[in-house]
């Protein structure tokens, strides 16, 4: 009986790292340029100078490639501020989140990705996991503030988290109003009033 963890050493040609990078670069580029319009697998493969099969050999679906392109190549750092002041922590989170939502190429790429996720249940689930860590960061800040007594005991943390991200996604996806520093300040103020 073989060792189940390493039944056999790898033989044959190895994965082409250059192709992997070319695919992710092309995907991010197209995702950003599309800004909402759909991005086809054909187009990604062609732009990367790669066969479609190479793409499907390493990713299970188009959505997985797109998400990977966004997270690997344009991963925004999630700040976890801990200044000792709830108001300041939350303000920093809002500013960082809103600023990330202006940056190219990740911002238009994320917008496209969310639109793709509306039709792709698999991608929607991946995206849900991706965003969960951001939600957790806001929750941590709020609960630390509550322990310090900066948040009234009757305030609902889940409600505040959803107000924070609901507002953000609403403006980010509709684009009808700015997500600038002023908006971040006023949102923070409104939530903690």
Return the number of the residue (119 or 148) whose C-beta is nearest a copy of itself. 119
- Does the CA dihedral 105-110-116-121 come out positive or negative? positive
Six-digit token string for 176: 């009808």
Options 80, 83, 169, 180; binder of a copy of itself; rule CB under 8 A: 169
Write out the binding residues for a copy of itself, residues 79-118 only, by CB under 8 A: 114-116, 118
What is the DSSP code (8-state) at residue 154?
Answer: T
Span from 57-65, 84-92, 128-136, 156-164 in contact with DNA (CB under 7 A)? 57-65
Write out the binding residues for DNA, residues 10-29 only, by CB under 7 A: 10-16, 19-20
The distance of closest approach from Cβ of residue 164 to DNA in the complex, given in angstroms and rounded to an integer, is 32
30 near a copy of itself (CB under 8 A): no
Among 82, 68, 190, 58, residue whose Cα is nearest residue 143: 82
155 near a copy of itself (CB under 8 A): yes
61 near DNA (CB under 7 A): yes
What is the DSSP code (8-state) at residue 151?
Answer: S
* H or E element, residue 173: helix 157-174
The distance of closest approach from Cβ of residue 122 to DNA in the complex, given in angstroms and rounded to an integer, is 7
Write out the binding residues for DNA, residues 82-141 only, by CB under 7 A: 120
183 near a copy of itself (CB under 8 A): yes
Let me know the angle formed at the C-alpha of 168 by 165 and 172, rounded to the nearest 5 degrees: 140
C-alpha 52, offset from chain centre: 25
Question: Three-state DSSP class for 12?
Answer: coil
Six-digit token string for 139: 């929750």
Write out the binding residues for DNA, residues 36-55 only, by CB under 7 A: 38-43, 49-54
Contacts of 188 (CB under 8 A, 6+ apart): 87, 90, 91, 94
User: Interface with DNA by CB under 7 A: which residues?
Assistant: 8-16, 19-20, 38-43, 49-54, 56-58, 61-63, 120
């Amino acid at each position: 009986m073989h060792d189940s963890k390493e039944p056999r050493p790898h033989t044959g040609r190895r994965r082409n790292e250059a192709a992997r990078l070319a695919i992710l670069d092309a995907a991010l580029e197209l995702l950003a340029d599309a800004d909402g319009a759909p991005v086809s697998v054909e187009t990604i493969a062609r732009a990367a100078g790669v066969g479609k099969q190479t793409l499907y050999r390493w990713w299970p679906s188009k959505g997985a490639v797109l998400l990977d392109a966004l997270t690997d190549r344009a991963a925004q750092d999630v700040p976890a501020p801990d200044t000792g002041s709830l108001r300041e922590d939350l303000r920093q989170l809002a500013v960082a989140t809103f600023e990330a939502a202006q940056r190219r190429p990740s911002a238009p790429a994320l917008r496209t990705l969310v639109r793709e996720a509306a039709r792709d249940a698999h991608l929607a689930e991946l995206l849900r996991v991706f965003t969960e860590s951001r939600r957790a960061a806001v929750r941590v800040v709020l609960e630390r503030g509550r322990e310090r007594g900066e948040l009234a005991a009757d305030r609902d943390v889940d409600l505040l988290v959803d107000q924070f991200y609901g507002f953000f996604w609403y403006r980010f996806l509709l684009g009808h109003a700015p997500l600038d520093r002023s908006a971040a300040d006023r949102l923070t103020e409104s939530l903690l009033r």
